Structure 1
Amino acid sequence: MTNLKVHAPVPVDLEGDLASLRGDCARMVPHWAAPDRITSRPVSPSLIHGVIVPPNSARLLDSMSDYGD
């Protein structure tokens, strides 16, 4: 296996502030590609499985009104 070493042009500040984070993000923008348009299609309920809702959460949601009625 190859051990790739990446060298940042600016020292990494792990205890930085918001300005440091924004600067890091601004330097990364050229490396990010966003699709022109994201199209989402409906998913069949038969494909959704493995979702577990705790009983307390289900009761809480069941007791909430949908639209404040």
Structure 2
Amino acid sequence: MTNLEVTSSAPAEPGGGLAPLWGDCARMAPHWAAPQRAASRPVSPSRIHGVSVPARSARLLDAMSDYGD
């Protein structure tokens, strides 16, 4: 049988504050490579199209109070 024990350095309580989160981010930052900054170019208006949303998704968003009210 496989041992599925998981250990975590996250705070035990949700209100642990931002200090543990900042520490975790500082430890992980060296592992993340920043992508080269790409120069943004203007987009021709002829390439800009409307957004189409399936009716089922639109009904779902309309029923959510955060979006529909």
TM-score by length of 1: 0.46
Highest RCO, 1 vs 2 (Cα 8 Å, sep ≥ 6):
2
